[in-house]
Amino acid sequence: MHRFFTEPKNVTIFPRDETTPEMDPIGQIVIAGEDFHHLIHVLRIAHDERFEVCDGAGTDFICHIKEVLDDHLLAEIDIVNYSRGELPFKLTLFQGIPKGKKLDEIIQKGTELGYTSFVPFTAERTVNRPKNADFKKTIRRGRIAYEAAKQAGRGIIPSVEEPLADINVVAKMLAGYDLVLLAHVGEGNPGLHTVLQAFGKTPDNAAVIIGPEGGFTEIEVLTLQNAGARVVSLGTRVMRTETAGPALGAMLAYAFGLV
Mapped onto helix, strand or coil, the DSSP state of residue 174 is helix
Average pLDDT over residues 230-234: 93
Residues 109 and 178 reside in one and the same domain: yes
Residues 113 and 219 reside in one and the same domain: yes
Q: What angle do CA 120, 91, 185 make, to 5 degrees?
A: 65
Residues 237 and 186 reside in one and the same domain: yes
Is residue 14 pLDDT above 90, yes or no? no
Average pLDDT of the residues of the chain: 90
pLDDT for the residue 133:
56
pLDDT for the residue 249:
94
Average pLDDT over residues 106-134: 88
Tell me which DSSP letter residue 191 carries.
B
Contact status, residue 27 vs residue 77, Cβ threshold 8 Å: yes
Residues 99 and 223 reside in one and the same domain: yes
Residues 154 and 176 reside in one and the same domain: yes
The kind and range of the H/E element at 3 are: strand 3-5
Is residue 25 pLDDT above 90, yes or no? no
CA–CA separation, 174 and 176 (whole Å): 5
DSSP for 110-127? Answer: HHHHT--EEEEE--TT-S
Residues 61 and 154 reside in one and the same domain: no
Q: Give me the amino acid identity at 5.
A: F
CATH number at residue 65: 2.40.240.20
Contact status, residue 121 vs residue 163, Cβ threshold 8 Å: yes
Domain final position from 46, 64, 82: 82
CA–CA separation, 135 and 212 (whole Å): 20
Is residue 198 pLDDT above 90, yes or no? yes
Q: For residue 175, give every residue at least 6 positions away whose Cβ sits within 8 Å of its Cβ, in sequence order, or none.
A: 227, 228
Is residue 106 pLDDT above 80, yes or no? yes
pLDDT tens across 207-225, in order?
Answer: 999 999 989 999 999 999 9
Query: What is the per-residue burial (b if ≥16 Cβ within 10 Å, else e) of 118-142?
Result: bbbbbbeebebebeeeeeebbeebb
Residues 128 and 223 reside in one and the same domain: yes
CATH number at residue 175: 3.40.1280.10
DSSP for 153-165? Answer: T-SS--EEPPPBS
pLDDT for the residue 85:
84
Residues 98 and 69 reside in one and the same domain: no
Residues 95 and 64 reside in one and the same domain: no
Residues 94 and 77 reside in one and the same domain: no
Domain final position from 34, 51, 82: 82
Structural domain harbouring 57: 3-82
Residues 70 and 149 reside in one and the same domain: no
Number of structural domains found in the chain: 2
Question: Is the pTM higher than 0.75?
Answer: yes
Q: Give me the amino acid identity at 92.
A: T
Tell me which DSSP letter residue 42 carries.
I
